[in-house]
Amino acid sequence: MGQRPDGRGGPALACRRARRHHPRPGLPVPPERRYGWSAQACGGGVVTLDLQAVGRSAGPDTVSWTSFDALLYALGVGAGQDDSAQELEFTTENTEGVPQQVLPTYAIVLAQRAPGLKVDIGEVDRTKVVHAGQGLIMHRPLPVEGKASLTNTVTGIYDKGSGALVRTSAEAVDLETGEKIFTTQGAIFIRGAGGFGGPRDPAAGWSAPEGEPDQVVSAATRSDQALLYRLSGDRNPLHSDPAFAARGGFTAPILHGLCTFGVSARVVLRAIGVAADRMASINGRFSKPVVPGERLTVSVWSDDKTHLFRTTDSSGETVLDRGVLTTR
C-alpha cells in the first residue's frame, strides 16, 4: 500500500487529511494545507503544490519585440492562410498603403516569453498541466515594436476535485512612457492535484448566447500549425514531441491552446469588421484540445460592443467556450 509523503498512512488517509479546509485556531498550518501530496498518494502528477503561493509575484522582467516577431506570430495563428491577399496588415510590413498592425493576442505571448515571470507554485509534472482559460485586457494597442516591463502574480489556487486550477495575472508597462499596455489573465488546470480542501473557483459571470449566431466563420489550421506557432516562444514538447504527448495521455501532439485562442480572436475581429487596435478585451475557456489540421468554426453573437463567441472543430465539438470579445 502506498505511503503518504511523510511516510505515515496510505493514500486514502493522505487525501482525506489534505481536504481539511482550515487548521484549528492557534495551531500551525499543517504541511498538507500548504503542499499538495505526491502523485503516488493522491493520484495526480503534482510532487508538491504550494497553496500559499496566492498573492506571490515574480518580476519585474523586461521583454522586447520586433516587427518580425509580430509577423511570425500572425502567421502562427493562421493570418493569410485562407487567402494570402487578405490580412496583409498582420502578415507584411511593406505593402503599399497598408501599415503593419499587431494582433492584440500577441500580448499573451509576450507575457509568456519573459523568463523572470515564473512564479513558484511547487513542483509540477508538466504532462499533467492543461491550459484551462485565458483573458486579455488591452489598455492601448500594441506597437509594431517595443519594450515592456512585466510583473506576474498568482491570483488564486482553486480545488476542482480532479485537479487544481491556478489563476495568474500579468501586467505590462511601456518602458519608455510608463503607460500600462496590457494585462493578461491566465488559468492552468493541473490534473490530479485536487482534493486539498481549498476554495472552489468562483463562477464567472457569463450567459450562453440565445438564438442563431450573427456570424459563422470557418478557419483552417495546418498540419504543422503547432510547429509554426511554437516559433513565437512556446516550446512545450506537448505540441511537438509525440512521445511526450503520449505520456500526457494524447495520441499525438496537440495545438497550443493559445494558438486556438489567437485564431478565434483574429476570426472574430474580421467577422465583425473591427480593426485590431479597437479590441478592448477578450476572454475564453478551453474545452477540448485541437488536433493540428482541423478546420475551426467560430460562431459570433454581437450586441453593440460585446461579442460572444464559441469555437468548434470539424466534428462540431466545442474547443473554446465562453468567449467574450469587447471593442472600443
Q: Are residues 209 and 68 in the same domain?
A: yes
Least confident of 36-40, 54-58, 107-111: 36-40
Q: Assess if residue 51 is contained within a domain.
A: no
Q: Which of 131, 239, 256, 307 is catalytic?
A: 239
Q: Assess if residue 4 is contained within a domain.
A: no
Q: Can you give the pLDDT at residue 90?
A: 98
CATH number at residue 168: 3.10.129.10
Q: Can you give the pLDDT at residue 34?
A: 40
Q: Can you give the pLDDT at residue 204?
A: 64
Q: Which of 69, 159, 201, 234 is catalytic?
A: 234
The cell numbers describing 39, all together, are: 502523485
Choose among 71, 73, 91, 131: nearest CA to 284: 131
Q: Are residues 102 and 242 in the same domain?
A: yes
Q: Are residues 146 and 271 in the same domain?
A: yes
**Residue 108: DSSP 8-state:** H
Q: pTM of the full predicted structure?
A: 0.83
Q: Which residues, in sequence order, are CB contacts of 277 under 8 Å at separation 6+?
A: 101, 104, 141
Radius of gyration of the chain (CA): 21
Q: Are residues 119 and 198 in the same domain?
A: yes
For the cut 50, the answer to whether the pLDDT of residue 28 exceeds it is: no
Task: Compute the distance between CA of residue 175 and CA of residue 147 in angstroms, rounded to an integer.
Answer: 6
Q: Is-catalytic flag, 82?
A: no
- Average pLDDT of every residue of the chain: 86
Q: What's the mean pLDDT in 113-141?
A: 89
The cell numbers describing 319, all together, are: 474547443
Q: Are residues 145 and 179 in the same domain?
A: yes
Q: Assess if residue 52 is contained within a domain.
A: no
The DSSP bridge pattern shows strands 295-303 and 215-220 to be antiparallel
Tens digits of residue pLDDT in 191-248: 888 888 888 887 666 777 889 999 999 999 999 999 999 999 999 899 999 999 998 8
Task: Compute the distance between CA of residue 53 and CA of residue 39 in angstroms, rounded to an integer.
Answer: 20
Q: Are residues 23 and 87 in the same domain?
A: no
For the cut 50, the answer to whether the pLDDT of residue 16 exceeds it is: no
User: Percent of the chain scored above 90 by pLDDT?
Assistant: 70
Higher local confidence (pLDDT), 49 or 255: 255
Amino acid at 109: V
Task: Compute the distance between CA of residue 205 and CA of residue 203 in angstroms, rounded to an integer.
Answer: 6
Q: Assess if residue 151 is contained within a domain.
A: yes
Task: Compute the distance between CA of residue 321 and CA of residue 311 in angstroms, rounded to an integer.
Answer: 7
Q: Are residues 38 and 112 in the same domain?
A: no
For the cut 60, the answer to whether the pLDDT of residue 32 exceeds it is: no
Choose among 159, 186, 164, 151: nearest CA to 19: 159
Residues in the chain: 328
Higher local confidence (pLDDT), 51 or 208: 51
Prior bond of 28 cis (ω within 30°) = no
Q: Can you give the pLDDT at residue 62?
A: 96
Q: Are residues 272 and 160 in the same domain?
A: yes
Q: Assess if residue 201 is contained within a domain.
A: yes
Q: Are residues 259 and 154 in the same domain?
A: yes
The cell numbers describing 2, all together, are: 502506498
Q: Can you give the pLDDT at residue 207?
A: 78
In sequence order, what DSSP letters do the residues of 24-74 get, joined into one string?
PTTSPPPHHHHBPPPHHHHSSSEEEEBGGGTT-EEEEEEEEE-HHHHHHHH
Overall number of domains in the chain: 2
Residues 192, 130 contacting (CB under 8 angstroms) = no
Name the strand (E) or helix (H) holding 257.
Answer: helix 257-272
Q: Can you give the pLDDT at residue 124?
A: 84
Q: Assess if residue 71 is contained within a domain.
A: yes
Q: What's the mean pLDDT in 30-45?
A: 39
Q: What's the mean pLDDT in 114-142?
A: 90
Per DSSP, the three-state class of 221 is: coil
Q: Are residues 105 and 36 in the same domain?
A: no
Banded pLDDT at 170 (limits 50, 70, 90): very high
For the cut 60, the answer to whether the pLDDT of residue 123 exceeds it is: yes
Amino acid at 304: D
Q: Can you give the pLDDT at residue 295?
A: 96
Q: Are residues 121 and 24 in the same domain?
A: no
Range of the domain at 186: 57-327
Per DSSP, the three-state class of 266 is: helix
Q: What's the mean pLDDT in 17-39?
A: 39
Q: Are residues 26 and 120 in the same domain?
A: no
Q: Assess if residue 3 is contained within a domain.
A: no
Q: Is-catalytic flag, 139?
A: no
Other CB atoms within 10 Å distance of the CB of residue 315: 8
Q: Residue 58 CA to chain centroid, in angstroms?
A: 18
Q: What's the mean pLDDT in 248-272?
A: 95
Banded pLDDT at 129 (limits 50, 70, 90): confident
Q: Can you give the pLDDT at residue 203?
A: 63
Sheet of 57-65: strands edge to edge?
Answer: 57-65, 146-159, 163-174, 180-191, 129-138, 279-286, 318-327, 306-312, 295-303, 215-220
Residues 236, 126 contacting (CB under 8 angstroms) = yes
Residues 48, 32 contacting (CB under 8 angstroms) = no
Banded pLDDT at 98 (limits 50, 70, 90): very high
For the cut 80, the answer to whether the pLDDT of residue 36 exceeds it is: no
For the cut 50, the answer to whether the pLDDT of residue 162 exceeds it is: yes
Q: Assess if residue 260 is contained within a domain.
A: yes
